[in-house]
Structure 1
Amino acid sequence: MSSQTYTLMNYLIQCVEAVLIVVGNSLTLIAVKKTKSLNRIPTNVFIVSLATSDGIIGLLIPILISVKLLDSDQIWIGTTCLLHGPYFSMFSISLLTLLAIAIDRYHAVVNPLVYRQRMTLRKARIITVVIWIMMFGIITGSTCYFGIYNNVIQLKTRVLGLLFPKLLMTILKQLLILSPVLGNVVIYIIIYKNLKSKNKVGPSGNNHECCQNTSSKATKSYVRMMVLVLAYLITACIPYYIIDGIVKQKNSNSPSWLVYLLDVSIILFYSNSFMNPVIYSWKNRHFREAYKTIMICEQSFGGTREIRRISTRIDTSV
């Protein structure tokens, strides 16, 4: 296989992934929008944010691939702010949103009664807006600054190389990515220990405890779902950032097998954005029923009534 054929096949796979990302996350957005009980749960505000950022990543992937195929420095400079900044911003928003979900689940498990009183849809939306404004501003702004300053003014080796050594920038980049992931891991370990200690106590048998147990089951379901999302995120992202860091340090001295391994890790990295809806449908019956209903509604009449009927069965106590 020639190198050109290999490159085209690699980019074709990435474009297929982009389609899956857009379709899967659009399905999640429609499910939460059209199913009343789903859009009344504060946690699902973060799910919508996660699906939106992943969906935008899917839309940007084919454009980024086109820029790579053109292989023009002038085009790259022009698209630094328009494409690369938003792309890295969306991924950073996804990571921080996952951290927000972990913190939300922590409070739901540790203080369930207080959580229901304090965590509202309005607060969840405010947190989401803050995450988007903060990460989009920081990541896009820094990407534009370093991209334009580095490529147009041509002072990388003379100034930026002294102020921001390549190894230091690589380490800072990895820490920026790993910090939210490690934060998620720590929080879910605490949640697991808390749930384990509650299971040892056992139910008391009265109605109040029965309601608490029902709510606890719903909370555990969301926790399991998000732990699986986090586990796949780690599986998909860690290999890419390790291999990408090695390749960038070696520059043109990287062996061909390492470059091929980097391409595989990029495909795995992109898959994280379309696997989330798959995990939702697998681990949460409410999302699964909503997905099925949406697809039925697209093919037959009376779908709105069916969505309302199914939505009434969803436990809003999560």
Structure 2
Amino acid sequence: MEEAGKISILLVSFLIVLAIVVGNILTIIAVLRKPKMGTVSNQFVLGLAIADLLVAFALPYNLIVIFFVSPKMKFTYPEFVGSCVAPLMPLIVSSIASNLNLLLIGMDRLYAVSNPLSHRAFMSRRKARLAVCCSFLIATFMSSLLFILNDWKEDEESPCIKTNMSFVYYSCVLLPTFVMTIILLFIAYGKILHVAATVSTNAKKSLKMVSLIISCYCICWLPFMIRLFIEQYDKDNHNFQSNTALYYAQIGTFLLMCSNSFMNPIIYTMKSGDFRKAYREIILCKKEVVAQDGSKQATSNDA
């Protein structure tokens, strides 16, 4: 790859990482520090933000591997784990945790819309956070299977892209997780649409916001999953390291997938007045105080 191409990719990657860090840290602070934002539903948004934040730490490491690890290196197993498996694991954790938290958001919205009284009585922030923690434990366990389900072979020269994930792992873990998430989300929101006409305007706005989050997720992740599909099912005939067009396709789908991690805070800003207000107060270093009449006012820390 030409130096100009590498510099352009590194610049785009830097902007993506910056947007991911700023947007998701704002979301995490808003949910944890703003009382009005600490709703049950927003605990799942918090889980999604943490999953997205993982991508910001994984992206630079993966680019180092793509640009600087030779496709013809012969790895010992510890070197293979450090150079090929470790960069991929945070992305897999983020992917599976995002899938599970999107499902939790969808199930929570379906429960809240179809049976609001029962939802308020049963669901709590503690239960929601427990569900989020379980999603990350499951994601971590499933990603750790990469230590076993990979194609590393001793005394064989092969690029990371052909060895860090086995056909079995992709076919039995990653692909089913992605496909089942999309199917279950469509089923959940199909049911939600049947009762949407009877819910309040605020609830409808919330449903639109979540639908936009899911749509962006599908658009950003689908090309990446298709690329993985091609790599796994036709590894011998698709040399991404030597074919310039395929090499750019590899990096392009990878960056598109990563860019999904900064889109959610933008969607919150566009579609949620509460998030928009919370972001503004955090950026301007304002905090809510309760006046004597019980009303809430935003005040600056400089006052």
Question: Which TM-score band (shorter chain)?
Answer: 0.7 to 0.9
Partner of 1:280: 268
What is the rounded CA distance, in whole Å, between the counterparts of 2:270 and 2:16 in structure 1?
Answer: 19
How far off its partner does 1:178 sit?
1.8
Please state how far the C-alpha of 1:310 moved relative to its aligned partner: 5.7
Matches within 5 A, 1:34-45: 34-39=33-38, 41-45=39-43
Task: Give the deviation of 1:16 after TM superposition.
Answer: 1.9
Q: Look up the equivalent residue of 2:129 and give its one-letter code.
A: R
Q: Do the aligned partners of 2:51 and 2:94 also contact (CA within 8 Å) in 1?
A: yes
Mapping of 1:168-183 within 5 angstroms? 170-172=170-172, 173-183=174-184
SS of residue in 1 equivalent to 2:296 = helix
- Asked if 2 retains the 8 angstrom alpha-carbon contact of 1:14 and 1:267, the reply is yes
Is 1:242 matched with 2:232?
no
- Which SS does the other structure have where 1:287 is aligned? helix
Q: 1:127 to 1:309 in 2, by over 3 A?
A: same
* Distance in 2 (alpha carbons) for counterparts of 1:80 and 1:310: 51
State the secondary structure of the residue aligned to 1:37.
helix
Residue number among 55, 78, 84 corresponding to 2:82 in the alignment? 78
Letter in 1 for 2:9: N
| Residue in structure 1 matched with residue 103 of structure 2 by the alignment | 99
Change (3 A) 1:165 1:306: closer
Q: TM-score, normalised by structure 2?
A: 0.82
- State TM-score, norm by structure 1: 0.78
Written as runs of structure 1 = structure 2, the 5 A alignment for 1:144-223 is 144-147=147-150, 150-151=151-152, 153=154, 166=167, 170-172=170-172, 173-196=174-197, 198=198, 216-223=200-207
1:56 shift after superposition: 1.5
CA distance in 2, matches of 1:65, 1:260: 13
Report the alpha carbon displacement of residue 243 of structure 1 after superposing the two structures with TM.
3.0
More moved, 174-183 vs 288-297: 174-183
Hey, what does 2:159 align to over in structure 1?
none
Task: Return the letter of the residue paired with 1:53.
Answer: A
Distance 1:138 1:77 in 2: 16
Mark the runs of 5 or more structure 1 residues left unpaired by the alignment: 156-163, 199-212, 298-302, 312-318
Larger % of helix: which? 1
The answer for unaligned runs of 5 or more in structure 2 is: 157-164, 299-303
Residue 82 and residue 186 in structure 1: after superposition, are their counterparts in 2 closer, same or farther (change >3 A)? same
Q: Residue in 1 aligned with 2:47?
A: 49
- Structure 2 residue corresponding to 1:292, chosen from 277, 280, 286: 280
Equivalence for 2:6? 7
Stretch of structure 1 that moved more, 179-188 or 251-260: 251-260
Contact 2:149–2:169 (Cα < 8 Å) also in 1: no
Q: SS at the partner of 1:151?
A: coil
Q: Tell me if structure 1 keeps the 8 A contact 2:52–2:94.
A: yes
Q: Deviations over 1:89-148 (max 9, x none)?
A: 122101110001000000000001111000111110111111111121122x2112234x
Contact map agreement 1:293 1:306 (CA 8 A) in 2: no
Task: Supply the distance in 2 between the matched residues of 1:146 and 1:169 (Cα, whole angstroms).
Answer: 6
Amino acid at match of 1:144: F
- The structural deviation recorded for 1:78 is 1.9
Identify the residue that residue 301 of structure 2 maps to in structure 1.
Answer: none
Partners in 1 of 2:33 and 2:177 — Cα distance? Answer: 35
Provide the rounded CA distance (Å) in 2 between the counterparts of 1:240 and 1:55.
19
Higher RCO (CA < 8 A, seq sep 6+): 1
Compared CA separation, residues 34 and 237, structure 1 to 2 (3 A)? same
| Number of residue pairs aligned between Structure 1 and Structure 2 | 278
Judged with a 3 Å threshold, the aligned counterparts in structure 2 of structure 1 residues 257 and 82 are, in CA distance, closer, same or farther, namely closer
CA 1:247–1:130 in 2, change beyond 3 Å: closer, same or farther?
Answer: closer
Deviations 1:166-192 (A, max 9, x none): 4x6544432222211221122111101
Aligned partner of 2:103: which letter? L
Q: CA deviation at 1:80?
A: 4.6
Residues of 2 paired with 1:70 and 1:279: CA distance?
35
- Measure how far apart 1:15 and its partner are: 2.6
Name the SS of the counterpart of 1:92 in structure 2: helix
Identity of aligned residues (%): 25
Contact 1:90 1:136 in 2 (8 A): no
CA drift at 1:246: 2.3
